[in-house]
Structure 1
């Protein structure tokens, strides 16, 4: 076993078990040097603190010989202690955050005054594989968990039971499970010290089981007696109320009636026991003095008391220990989510930097993508991988600045803002807080919530974030904020600048299949009360659901459809059980085979058809574009027609100003370049350059008129559709395009490339025309799509025309002849 020299800090009437995160206080006189001791310190229980004299060598005889070794994790902070009368006595005390990671045994002491340094022997808690296997095999751990859960249910407050039971049920490490349960025990320090000193894991479990069994029996008996007493006293409730009305005003605290004077004393004790920063302590004490000085009937009493309670409930110093295990974090991220490699890589980078540097400033991430791609659930997975607590704040529809920054206490019903409320709820100073739907914040006469978030999300400012209700600075620099959004256009520029945006474009067909089989199908089977033994959902049926009934970037609709299929099986299984409920032996239920025909019977007629676009591109004047929306990418069919008229341009389809300008630009380019594109006309004499469009009306329509459309990305699609109409030539049905055009015919880059490509791929498109400067945006596209789609990158509209039309061979000959004629004319001139 390893031996080392360790700084020893005696702790009175307390035993610290491994795997705990605690705050420790070290007086200045102890001269503790964190660097000298590699940020490690040993805590040793002093089982008889009444005999403890700081410089009396004899007191080491009262120390236990087994203790716990801590790793200091946070910087020291200085507070002042206060004497009665609320005056400083100028004695400094240093507080440290620490994580207990092992045990040690004291060999002897090298130094005992004015502080302790001892030679210790580290104790390994590693469990041999054969012993661990034996412990798990003979139901020892199972019985231990059951006893521990029963104890927690009886002893703990209702709100504390679920997380503790979840830890007991899910914890895989035997050591961590045993020490965590030992920490829950409400027993004397001497008993806990005995548990700490046991080296054999079987003996330690046996010792704790004895205590749990004894405590459970005692507490059950006490609860039964309490119920009997309450029942007997219920008949006397009326007389009790009568007596209480005749007595001076009293308050009920902790089940006991307490006079106002006693209540003030208890509140003062709570304030002093809470390790508050100096400025916060001073502010609370000022409010406390006001509370004592006013009469209890005063309306301001409740306001002040609520304020003090709120301040005391905030986690000014409470933190959780970050997990720096990159391998474990990667396993959690891969377990909970399929794909999203860019997001997972960024989280692992954060963990690596955090483990090396020790601070998390600048870690404000915005996950942007369409609904159903897993943005919100990804935030929970990030918290799990970090070992932090998780809170979600929904910002959708928030329009009042006070909801973020809090209400001033001068208003009736004032409350802290959502940030402070989230911290109070999770009781941790360094949680992961998810700001959901940050792009849906609104503004009105009550202020702009986006502006209030500027301070929250600025790593250089949020260390002194001041909520209007508290009127005290609160340090948010240790909080990891993760925002989610469907689109970035509606987010204020300064707010967007404070976040690192990670795009989640959506899932490919193969990714959706993987997600369905790994996550959605098992989840829906469990949620609908059936099991894997009575349903067989094969790959062919899942493929049909994905292709024929869903066409979304995410998987939310896919999950609903799988749920519908599972519910249909649940009806069959429930009917089977009810029809045979009177029989002693339930006949075996025939496993339901889910075939494509079964899916069609449940979900109805197929909604989507891969040949839909091909069937619609059946005449000149129709082109397929690609659009980016808040719900992901979409294919956009543009139709153009002409009739006799006087040169009017009609636009329909609920278009925005930008889209209307794209149509005007396209027509302007065609007019100015008419001489260079006449070779495309099957009948060039129909249009004369001097009277182009004068005798016809052009109607450009964007179907699905109920959906608003706008954005600078349809220029080349509109131009190609108009040229197809004028030349009476059809555009290829397997081609889609996106890009903006200038009056000079240049093709400009656009955004949302990956989302648009995913939508086109889902619609059976084989060739996609993109601006040349968007070439770099195709690097993140999956190999599955690159294998099945031919990308064409263009710099000007002429290159688009060389790709988009059918009969390319004829057009090439016409173009060559046209260019030769032009050269001959120039040579004659």
Structure 2
């Protein structure tokens, strides 16, 4: 290559500097660098390599690059499996960037080839070269990671400039120092800089060697001290003076004798203490035995708290901490009463089931306070290993007791109230099923001698009051459910949420945010708007977060002195604190429609309304189901269609509709998965409406499972569904007859606002929901008349059947 001005593709180098005369390979991974390599291979194989000053920059600009680099020739490239390229290059000459040009996929630079400036004094150069030889030899004597033979062969190069480049390229120094050598065009100046760099590295190596020698001397001294101590221990044991292990043993025996421990526990501890005395204090086994003894002694074998069985005090605490939840409070008071009369109720495992944020965890804490017991909480969410419950064998490294024994140690008494939070979130893996381990814990007949794998001693759990919480019982194994007393906690009504906010949440958040009641006031209209437009939940967790957000905004205004007088939150200015409303509840349709029925659904966040639409089209009897429906809901739709087909004549529907019509059932909000059997009667009503032309009363909603015979089966979540209907403005709800007991437990304001109809079969449902055919819809009925006329012969019989048929309509 003879040209002095070149235009070459650029490859910036991170942490590496290439010198003329070097042959090396490196990996290229950045897209622009890969494109530059490929451009060079497509042309003359020449490329420009320069050092990147800031390695953190992914796409360096001219300011991020050294101005002087190396013109190199690509000898070979290899495509790697990860998309990178391995390049073998040979450095040719120094070059200086005169122009930096960014193209679409790569960077090109205009480069001026640089020649070495020879020294004017040959003797001076010889002195510098000889000095460099001595320094290299001294460096190799201190640094054993470079091959002396390799460096000796490199020093045989006669050209001083080339010699300098080769030596610095093989030296273990930073790329920045190497770049300084590359930047130097003068051979004499380059030699001087190289000598300074090698001298500095030699000084550092000498200091490192001194430090290493001192460390080695310290290690030798420690080793000598260890040997002497071991000899001293042997001498002490021979003389009977070795009392270090015996001191620990004596301390533990004193603790065992001062405690009223079960005999089996005392014998086991004395056995382990004797074993401790025979174990070398510096061995690993000594620590294992010592940890075991301390863990067993820390358990509350002989300590329990006295129960406070005062119903009035318990009632006052429960009313102070929680609003509503009457069934739960009654059940807790019943437990305390039985405990007071019998001394020990047989079934003492309670399971509180309900939506998030309804107070399950906090009511367990209140129960512990009412009884005067220590409170301890164990979170079971995500537990999938049996050892989490029963512990690990102490023979394993890092073994520890299970969560139950650990909780008892932290509680400090043998009869605490132990809360198992989120028991429905347990899972299982190849390490065992934790739910199976809980069977013994929750069985009053077995937990009197619960054995943890770590302590290997029976602990009496019969005095522990176990309380579990769950959002749903679907994932809890049946044997475990059989051992618990299930108490369902339903969602809060609007009135209950407002009272909870007034009595608990607002005062609590004011206090936490440093506000006084005189500084922040909530208008009577603010809470209903806050609950309906900014929360959608059965509990009050989200409501508390919204109140906290309002308090933060009020705190800012108060600190800035921008609030004139007390800050008042109303329905109108609520958006100033929380932004635009998040939720918009559905309202009833403006008019009665054919094939559109209001259904009711239950979700983990509470009740919701569910409109079901049915359309009929000319076709061949195809049934289309849309709306992200689950398998159970699809089966309900098929059962509803079978009921309509079987009773078509009685319902005023053409008996061959399934041959001539396609039916499309759709449940809006298709992005939300839906499943369950309780929409069965809703689908059946929508089908009858669409096929008979009878409108559906827009103020009627319904829920219930349908059978092929038209019976209406009971459903769950009545309270949440009724609340959703109330928000929607529904005036009548059709329920299964078997849900009458659930109706009795509904709040009185719901009973006063909504009329409830109890249906045993579809006759009652259709009679309540369907309206007569309007005048505009009479024409289709004429086809029905002609259809019936064609089926029945005889004028007298024809008139009777026609009269009976349309009386049903």
How do 1:177-188 residues align onto structure 2 when only pairs under 5 Å count? Answer: none
1:125-524 matches, within 5 Å, as: 259-524=244-509
Give the CA deviation at 1:760.
Answer: 2.4
Task: Give the conservation status (yes or no) of the 8 Å contact 2:536–2:605.
Answer: no
SS at 2:615's partner residue? strand
Give the SS at the match of 2:734. strand
Which residue number in structure 2 is paired with residue 669 of structure 1? 643
Aligned-partner Cα distance in 1 for 2:514–2:434: 43
Q: Is the 8 A contact 1:406 1:468 kept in 2?
A: yes
Q: Spell out the pairing of 1:612-651 with structure 2 (5 A cutoff).
A: 612-615=586-589, 619-651=593-625
Partner of 1:824: 800
Match for residue 559 of structure 1 among 529, 535, 544: 544
Cα deviation code 1:253-281 (max 9, x no counterpart):
xxxx9933322221222222232100111
2:767 corresponds, among 782, 798, 802, to: 802
Give the counterpart of 1:755 among 716, 720, 739: 720
Deviation of 1:488 (Å): 1.6
Q: Distance in 1 between matches of 2:225 and 2:549?
A: 60
Deviates more, 1:267-276 or 1:669-678: 267-276
| Cross-structure match for 2:29 | none
Deviations 1:513-557 (A, max 9, x none): 111100010011111221212111121111211222223211111
Q: CA contact under 8 A between 2:435 and 2:480: conserved in structure 1?
A: yes
- 1:456 positional shift: 0.8
Query: Residue 799 of structure 1: CA displacement?
Result: 1.0
Question: Aligned pair in 2 of structure 1 residues 244, 726: CA closer, same or farther (>3 Å)?
Answer: farther
CA gap 1:358/1:821 in 2 versus in 1, 3 angstroms: farther
Alignment of 1:77-96 (within 5 A): none
Q: Specify which of 601, 604, 608 is matched with residue 576 of structure 2.
A: 601
In structure 2, distance between residues paired with 1:593 and 1:471: 62
1:507–1:758 contact (8 Å) kept in structure 2: no
Indicate whether 1:527 and 2:512 are aligned: yes
Q: Which residue of 1 aligns with 2:738?
A: 773
Give me the whole-angstrom Cα distance separating, in 2, the residues matched to 1:616 and 1:429: 64
Answer whether contact 1:621 1:724 (CA < 8 A) is retained: yes
Q: By how many angstroms is 1:808 displaced?
A: 8.1
Alpha carbons 1:619, 1:730 under 8 Å: kept = yes
Aligned partners of 2:672, 2:378: CA distance in 1, in Å? 30
- Paired residue for 1:62? none
Structure 1 residue runs without a partner (length 5+): 1-240, 251-256, 580-587, 682-687
Per-residue CA shift, 1:430-473, capped at 9, x if unaligned?
Answer: 11111111111112222221111111111111111111112111
User: 2:655 — aligned with what?
Assistant: 689
Q: CA deviation at 1:827?
A: 12
Alpha-carbon separation, structure 1, partners of 2:316 and 2:489: 20
Aligned equivalent of 1:793: 758
Is residue 735 from structure 1 mapped to residue 720 from structure 2 by the alignment? no
- The alpha-carbon distance between structure 1 residues 761 and 411, as it changes in their structure 2 partners (threshold 3 A), is farther
Contact 1:360 1:477 (8 Å CA) reproduced? no
1:591 to 548, 561, 566: 566
Aligned partner of residue 518 in structure 2, secondary structure: helix
Q: Following TM superposition, by how much is the alpha carbon of 1:569 offset from its aligned partner in structure 2, in angstroms?
A: 0.5
Contact 2:619–2:659, Cα closer than 8 Å, also in 1? yes
Contact conserved, 1:343 with 1:502, CA < 8 A, in 2? yes
CA contact (8 A) 1:507 1:553 kept: yes
Task: Report the CA distance shift for 1:374/1:789 in structure 2 as closer, same or farther (over 3 A).
Answer: same
> Relative to 1, partners in 2 of residues 1:552 and 1:730: Cα closer, same or farther, differing over 3 Å?
farther
- Judged with a 3 Å threshold, the aligned counterparts in structure 2 of structure 1 residues 632 and 626 are, in CA distance, closer, same or farther, namely same
Q: Distance in 2 between matches of 1:704 and 1:826?
A: 42
For this pair of structures, how many residues does the alignment match? Answer: 559
> What is the SS of the residue equivalent to 2:369?
helix
SS of 2:608 mapped into structure 1: strand
* Cα displacement string for residues 675-706 of structure 1 (whole angstroms, at most 9, x for unaligned residues): 1111xx6xxxxxx423x233433222233333
Report how far residue 617 of structure 1 moved.
7.6
The aligned residue for residue 528 of structure 2 is 543
- 1:823 and 1:470 mapped to 2: Cα distance? 89
Q: Distance in 2 between matches of 1:759 and 1:460?
A: 44
Q: TM-score normalized by structure 2?
A: 0.65
Distance 2:348 2:255 in 1: 35
Residues 1:728 and 1:796: Cα distance change in structure 2 (over 3 Å): same
Is the contact made by 2:640 and 2:706 (CA closer than 8 Å) also made in structure 1?
A: yes
Q: Secondary structure at the match of 1:539?
A: coil
Displacement of 1:609 in angstroms is 4.0
**Between 392-401 and 283-292, the greater mean CA deviation after superposition:** 283-292
Q: Is the 8 A contact 2:349 2:442 kept in 1?
A: yes
Larger Rg: 2
Secondary structure (helix, strand or coil) at the match of 1:532 reads coil
- Measured at CA, do residues 242 and 360 of structure 1 come closer, stay the same or move farther in structure 2, by a change above 3 Å? farther
Check whether the contact 1:486–1:631 (CA below 8 A) recurs between aligned residues: no
**Partners of 2:799 and 2:314 in 1: CA distance:** 67
CA contact (8 A) 2:599 2:701 kept: yes
> In 2 relative to 1, CA 825–572 (structure 1 residues): closer, same or farther, beyond 3 Å?
closer
Give secondary structure in 2 for the equivalent of 1:318.
Answer: coil
| Aligned-residue offset at 1:559 | 1.1
Structure 2 residue runs without a partner (length 5+):
1-221, 234-241, 789-795, 805-809
Q: Distance in 1 between matches of 2:422 and 2:475?
A: 11
CA distance in 2, matches of 1:362, 1:499: 8
- The separation in 1 between residues aligned to 2:432 and 2:538, in whole angstroms, is 34
Question: What CA distance in whole angstroms lies between the structure 1 residues aligned with 2:361 and 2:389?
Answer: 20
Report the alpha carbon displacement of residue 606 of structure 1 after superposing the two structures with TM: 2.7
Say which is worse superposed, 283-292 or 785-794, in terms of deviation: 283-292
